[in-house]
Structure 1
């Protein structure tokens, strides 16, 4: 049977931007646009790997800690290289999905974390007040965007201060970044709280802002907030926005940037053009790393942050092609009913970072994008089946082998 999962619309209010790949069984339409993206294949690491470098386990030494902030604690994910350090640090801030912020899952930007750990960084990802399992409630401040940003920045300041005292963190080499609502939060942090952390050298804003469709003139509110922040920020910042962003349409990104720099704030805008079907998903995709990392690397070097590759870090790797059938041979996929075959046809129209899983009982699911669509497809299929789900196709290859266990999971 098919899984009835609903696509989270990327155009919704302040999309998080760091979601895992999503599983689907319902047609979403559209045509495949991956040919012009030149996205890396599964398992391909953009940088040349020196086998003499120490290897970090694919778990990236992930831990979940609680950071004190006033009367609450913040659920915070930490990724780090092996060893005692001290390591440079990036504090990375999440976006906001519609609805109760506590229902938003703990943020785990794996693709971004992997790239920074590869370059020797500690990656700190706090869930701000009211999000996931952090304490307190989300403080929206109504339609006052400027106040909202400052409120969120309190939690960023708490994370920077707490982590700067950890022995494995180099508190003289810190960068603060974020995506969507978290990108705006990073800029708001630079406008006020950063003065208490002299080790913070720069800000990185991925598609930042706060969309409030319920507020009249929300675009003007947002632009004015960035203008106010720009009067106070003294740190250099890098802004990355795409041409087909579903949240910031038209000239809005340019208007926010112009308002921010009007009073002399030091910033660089990088328009990376169209990315897949929505530029707002860039940071959440492993494919997006090759788009943003070269520009981020240049910025890091400009502000005195390290940029050398120091570790090997493994990535999810697809099983080898099996030759079982051609990719577009819909009727060759075993166990599927007509609904499942319709789902497979839909899968064939997705971007090439994708996976399709099926079980002997006919359960199926596909996933596209994110960090590891293989694991997502298998897990989503497995929720509907008592029989083991296995990968049938990954990217542009059929990997199915009859009664073969090595298609059940991805290797690393």
Structure 2
């Protein structure tokens, strides 16, 4: 996911052009349309790209996302941040992100308009120096022009509109709340603010702007912001919200506890959805808007809370003590968030930097192993005690007088031996003979995963061979230990075989 943070914008004066005639629905058409399916999902959504004129003729870029269901759809107008945008760096077009997914999953069409000078939009970045509220209003006028055109489409139910914005986009949508389209019923503001490199100590301008915007709207508003926002001191944004709510008492605050290293990146992680979901759903419901998930494929799996099983860096609490699990967990800990660590019977997998790290890691594990479960997410352990599908006691039926062999191997992905596991006798048979060797050649028996390709070729390993006494019938018991790691400090696993003689 790209960053949604606002950085200092190097604004330039906007160029004026000719006045554009109003658009009608028949003249509005996308210049391209694609079907997008998110990783590990099956339901696609439509992504339409538009280039539409503002009132002065400047052509702005906008993306419309449509869920795979029957319309017309309520409309969510979502404005993104302005990370590192300048006169020489226009950034990339806003498309799907977790906030878009929130609305898509609830059956909304999602419009992602791009401001002047952003991505493929024409014109120059709008700048009014330290007049931050004026900059927001002028950008909001453009957003309103583009949104009004899209609202004319037959796929859109223009009587049911919600707006949302994050960072700079939240600041712009706060201004658009003073001039909402007919049919607008609510707005969501995520850490709304902006900074201009030439304007120092702009907290007073942000505070004044928030008060202005609150005085000019009565939209139900949900303001979401965190205690460790790198771009807004807590005292500043809390004063902004207080000024806004004093004038618009229909505003509510979600005060997010410290989130990872920076709550301004809240919407870059599936974990950042949980703090505000229930309040947003409640506001939408009260506004008469869709508020329940109808297409879950458009959202990532939500991570569970800490289980209290272990501290994140406590390797001694990993469910198995072996070199491969420690190596995989070290890989997980070295990843940036969002990240997930999954453990199976025979494999460990890491999901990171993906749309859905949890599902990605579970999918990788299930392709190579069985009994896959989430152990850790981001900076916490979420593991619950799980029983392995691999039992340490196995029953094997043997014809009387016949030899049965149990072969053990540990292979690399190219089918070469990673090591030959040592096996040691704990308790021998009472009614038969046993032979054990660590210099055997045999066939592996992998049932899932990439090592199945090795089943057809002889490989090096260890073997246990059992044969019952000639006149014995019934069950004989053998217990051994088997090496599970290249580290001699790691304990072996204890295995018991019940040989049933028929």
TM-score of the superposed pair, with normalisation by structure 1: 0.67
Given the superposition, is the C-alpha separation of residues 8 and 169 from structure 1 closer, same or farther in structure 2, using an over 3 Å criterion? Answer: closer
2:424 alignment partner in structure 1:
none
Gaps of 5+ in 1: 1-6, 15-41, 45-55, 318-322, 334-340, 356-365, 377-393, 408-412
Partners in 2 of 1:72 and 1:112 — Cα distance? 27
Aligned pair 1:144/2:128, yes or no?
no
Match of 1:251 among 235, 250, 253: 235
Aligned pair 1:73/2:84, yes or no?
no
Give the SS at the match of 1:103. Answer: coil
More divergent stretch after superposition (263-272 vs 274-283)? 263-272
- CA shift digits 1:63-110 (9 cap, x unpaired): 222232131222112211124411111000011123426531111242
Give the SS at the match of 1:217. Answer: coil
1:50 alignment partner in structure 2:
none
Given the superposition, is the C-alpha separation of residues 124 and 99 from structure 1 closer, same or farther in structure 2, using an over 3 Å criterion? Answer: closer
Shift of 1:112: 2.0
1:262 alignment partner in structure 2:
246
More divergent stretch after superposition (98-107 vs 367-376)? 367-376
1:62 alignment partner in structure 2:
47
Given the superposition, is the C-alpha separation of residues 137 and 352 from structure 1 closer, same or farther in structure 2, using an over 3 Å criterion? Answer: closer
Aligned pair 1:326/2:347, yes or no?
no
1:120 alignment partner in structure 2:
107
Give the SS at the match of 1:115. Answer: helix
Partners in 1 of 2:4 and 2:256 — Cα distance? 21
TM-score of the superposed pair, with normalisation by structure 2: 0.56
Given the superposition, is the C-alpha separation of residues 403 and 258 from structure 1 closer, same or farther in structure 2, using an over 3 Å criterion? Answer: farther
Match of 1:217 among 201, 216, 219: 201
1:238 alignment partner in structure 2:
222
More divergent stretch after superposition (152-161 vs 75-84)? 75-84
Give the SS at the match of 1:175. Answer: strand
Shift of 1:372: 5.1
Given the superposition, is the C-alpha separation of residues 43 and 139 from structure 1 closer, same or farther in structure 2, using an over 3 Å criterion? Answer: closer
Aligned pair 1:371/2:359, yes or no?
no
- CA shift digits 1:120-150 (9 cap, x unpaired): 1111111111100011111121111011110
Partners in 1 of 2:3 and 2:280 — Cα distance? 28
Which of the two has higher C-alpha Rg?
2
Name whichever structure is richer in strand by fraction.
Answer: 2
Given the superposition, is the C-alpha separation of residues 103 and 403 from structure 1 closer, same or farther in structure 2, using an over 3 Å criterion? Answer: farther
- CA shift digits 1:293-336 (9 cap, x unpaired): 2221111112111112222426679xxxxx99634327xx9xxx
Given the superposition, is the C-alpha separation of residues 155 and 375 from structure 1 closer, same or farther in structure 2, using an over 3 Å criterion? Answer: farther
1:87 alignment partner in structure 2:
73
1:98 alignment partner in structure 2:
84
1:183 alignment partner in structure 2:
170
Given the superposition, is the C-alpha separation of residues 233 and 313 from structure 1 closer, same or farther in structure 2, using an over 3 Å criterion? Answer: same
Asked whether the 8 Å contact 2:6–2:167 carries over to 1, the reply is no
1:155 alignment partner in structure 2:
142
Partners in 1 of 2:298 and 2:171 — Cα distance? 31
Aligned pair 1:402/2:413, yes or no?
yes
Given the superposition, is the C-alpha separation of residues 10 and 187 from structure 1 closer, same or farther in structure 2, using an over 3 Å criterion? Answer: closer
Give the SS at the match of 2:293. Answer: coil
Asked whether the 8 Å contact 2:129–2:196 carries over to 1, the reply is no
Give the SS at the match of 1:62. Answer: strand
2:264 alignment partner in structure 1:
280
Given the superposition, is the C-alpha separation of residues 401 and 63 from structure 1 closer, same or farther in structure 2, using an over 3 Å criterion? Answer: farther
Partners in 2 of 1:152 and 1:119 — Cα distance? 27
Equivalent runs, 1:1-12 vs 2, <5 Å: 12=7
Over the residues paired in the alignment, what is the CA RMSD in angstroms?
A: 3.9
- The higher relative CO (CA closer than 8 Å, separation ≥ 6) is in 1
Asked whether the 8 Å contact 1:231–1:265 carries over to 2, the reply is no
Name whichever structure is richer in helix by fraction.
Answer: 1
1:292 alignment partner in structure 2:
276
More divergent stretch after superposition (57-66 vs 226-235)? 57-66
Aligned pair 1:199/2:197, yes or no?
no
